[in-house]
Structure 1
Amino acid sequence: MADIDTFLDLVKHSDNIVFFGGAGVSTESGIPDFRSTDGLYHQHYKYPPETMLSHTFYEQHMDEFYRFYRDKMLALDAQPNMAHIKLAELEQAGKLKAIVTQNIDGLHQKAGSKNVLELHGSVHRNYCQHCHKLFSAEYIKNSTGIPHCDDCGGTIKPDVVLYEEGLDNDTVQQALYYISHADMLIIGGTSLVVYPAAGLINYYHGHKLVLINKSSTDMDSRADLVLHEPIGQVFAKITL
């Protein structure tokens, strides 16, 4: 309990907070992560999820890619949990300056957050590879087989960063700016093993580094405060 009180006190006395989050932020909204016991890596498909979400697989087995993508990556009915809601409230209060997320589900925006830097893109943006017309996640969900543009017939690709693809440089630069200027950095719901995203925390130079994750990470020893608790339960205690 003392650790939670310390966390709440740090939030109370900070006004330039940046939040860096991973898949664990959305598990309380019913979206499976990758590495926990009930995550995607522990479910059985014809190919491993990491293979199916690679650029090579997308190019070579597009039908199979979209079957998995519709089934497991488009959780369009999911609702924000207390972590998403409280982060939006902190931003509204002027205390939180940016959310840097590895998630592609759009739940931060659904909760009302405005300055969300999506390192791995978003399922809510999809574009025709030929004419670049944009399509919604619902369009992809309701399509069958390989989705095609209703204007030119081109193939539609989700605006998500697949394995083997690079991160968007502008998004990374913005993330570096906010993290390096933060007086408090909260890292939540990530095992900090996916690079280059996990390397961004090296740019934080303050003394209020908080790690909130149900399991321990290799970065725990570097944090000023570690909470091995469900992130939604921790954030639910924040009052403004």
Structure 2
Amino acid sequence: MKVKIAISEPPEVIDPLITDLAACIAKSKRVLVITGAGISCSGGIPDFRSSDGLYDLVKKKHPDIVLRGKELFDAMLFRDEKQIKCFYTFMAELKRLISSAAPTPTHAFIQKLKQNGQLLRCYTQNIDCLEESIDLPVIQLHGSMNKVKCTLCPATYKFTTRMENQFRRGVAPPCPQCTIVDCERIRQGKRSLATGTLRPDVVLYNEEHPNGDIIGQMQTSDLKKKPDLMIVMGTSLKIPALKKFIKQASRMIHATKTGRVIFVNRTQATKEWEKVFDYEVLGDTDHWVKIIEKKMADEKTMAAAVTRLKRSISSVSDEDDKENTIASGTKKTVTLNVSSSKQTTLKGFRVTKSAATTKRTKTA
């Protein structure tokens, strides 16, 4: 069964669904969390796909350059000197916003999962590092805006205000390590080498993650630990590598029969994810966290809901075992055809339950 929820109706309307959803979280022991830009918006950082204000500011500084939002995060821009200047200006303005931003209720919710011993791992696409101020460890899939790195050598440095001001002018500071090495070579009478420049330590489109192999090993390790819940929040699900991991984790979770996968985002997922998510919550992640935490604080209701959920899962498992026993003791073939769905639409609030209809074909 898949449940789709759009958060806007009164509590009494969504209460049964929220109760079940909260019970799934309460009973979980090994939770994977995947986050995107949507969880940081309320903290003061705009979603890159809708942050017209930030793009407009960059366009005013570089009116002769036309770059779409995605192109500002594409490594191909380093082929054009003018686009490079535009990139650095954008990164400086983004750093300014990040410096004054704060963790959101969604960040705090993930931290509570960690404190409760439920969090297996949190993977984030975000580069804002808001998790650091609340001591929430995450795997940064797209790098960090707290550091800069050299374009030639392995050196990395803290992203300072001085560097931010240089970037804002479209200037890339020279790498101190490369400069030291070059000066030493010249002192020794050797030929001068190219000096790298500094750039934010973020992973752009069309470039490999420097820690990609390590992240891949961690993902494999996490799947072997058999997570029983995955929460995907604030992401539009556009990055191929992350999509692959979410689907792999989903198959592992669903193989347990008791595991669930939750998607929370302002816009709905495409049909590609129809069999991946058990719960699809359409709305702001902070709003969702607030109503979930309120429900989980009601210990009596939660205890009853968790018990009911376990009985429901046990009942389904018993039915499956019964079907398997019958099938193994006869020469009949049973074909299940999942096709129909029933949708109820309320004002601003949708609940979709996919119901399996069975068509049985008997053969001798």
Tell me which residue corresponds to 1:51.
Answer: 71
Structure 2 counterparts to residues 153-172 of structure 1, below 5 A? 153=179, 154-167=196-209, 168-172=212-216
**1: distance between equivalents of 2:227 and 2:165?**
41
Kindly report the root-mean-square deviation, in angstroms, between the aligned alpha carbons of the 2 structures: 2.4
Show the 5 A alignment for 1:122-201: 122-139=144-161, 140-144=163-167, 145-153=171-179, 154-167=196-209, 168-179=212-223, 181-201=226-246
Task: Please give the alpha-carbon distance, in whole angstroms, between the structure 2 residues aligned to 1:32 and 1:179.
Answer: 32
1:20 aligns with 2:19: no
1:3-152 paired onto structure 2 within 5 Å = 3-35=17-49, 38-39=50-51, 43-44=55-56, 45=59, 46-61=66-81, 62-72=84-94, 74=96, 75-114=98-137, 116-139=138-161, 140-144=163-167, 145-152=171-178
1:152 Cα offset (Å): 4.0
CA offsets 1:133-187 (integer angstroms, 9 cap, x no match): 3222234323342122345444112221111112322113313432563110001
Whether the 8 Å contact between 1:126 and 1:135 is mirrored in structure 2 is yes
Q: 1:100 touches 1:175 (CA, 8 Å); kept in 2?
A: no
Q: Partner letter of residue 47 of structure 1?
A: L
Classify the secondary structure of the residue corresponding to 2:99.
Answer: coil
TM-score, L = length of structure 2: 0.60
Work out which of the residue numbers 204, 211, 215 in structure 1 matches 2:267: 215
- Deviation larger for 161-170 or 136-145: 136-145
Q: 1:179–1:201: 8 Å Cα contact kept in structure 2?
A: no
CA distance in 1, matches of 2:199, 2:48: 22
Q: Contact 1:212–1:228 at 8 Å: present in 2 too?
A: yes
Query: Partner amino acid for 1:5?
Result: T
How far apart in 1 are the matches of 2:234 and 2:223? 17
Listed as ranges, the gaps of 5+ residues in structure 2 are: 1-13, 60-65, 180-195, 254-258, 298-364
Bigger Rg, which one: 2
Give the TM-score normalised by structure 1. Answer: 0.88
The SS at the match of 2:216 is helix
1:124 alignment partner, SS class: strand
- Cα deviation for residue 230 of structure 1 reads 0.8
Instruction: Give 3-state SS (helix, strand or coil) of 1:222's partner.
Output: coil
* One-letter identity of the residue aligned with 2:221: Y
What percentage of residue pairs aligned between the two structures are identical? Answer: 24
Matched length: 237
Q: Aligned equivalents of 1:63 and 1:117: distance in 2?
A: 29
